[in-house]
Amino acid sequence: MFLMNTCPNICYEVKTLNQFTTEPLHAHGTAAKHILRHLQGMITLGQRYSAGDVRIHGYTDADWARNVIDRKSMPECCLSLGYAMISWMRRK
């Protein structure tokens, strides 16, 4: 969750890997290493806020049982302050 709040550009990848935490395969470990390498390359980057960036935006998505494995919905919601994600939720 910390990585998602600090780097919102990896939300989709982390969300997808999160589905396989109970029974991970070698390919999932490789994908996690790619995400960590990406984050290592961004370690010196940061975000600066000014008075104009204080708008809060909320986004939601309901996928209506798009998961082909168990046909359950996974609604998602995220809130951002300026360009940084401050809250994220996903449930199955």
- What integer pLDDT is reported at residue 58 of this predicted model? 85
20-51 burial, b if ≥16 CB within 10 A, otherwise e? Answer: eeeeeeeeeeebeeeeeeeeeeeeeeeeeeee
- What integer pLDDT is reported at residue 22 of this predicted model? 83
pLDDT tens per residue, range 23-59: 888 998 898 898 888 888 877 776 666 666 578 888 8
Query: How many domains does the chain fold into?
Result: 1
Domain of residue 50, residue span? 2-90
Share of the chain above pLDDT 90, in %: 3
Quickly state the pLDDT bin for 92 (edges 50, 70, 90).
low
Share of the chain above pLDDT 70, in %: 74
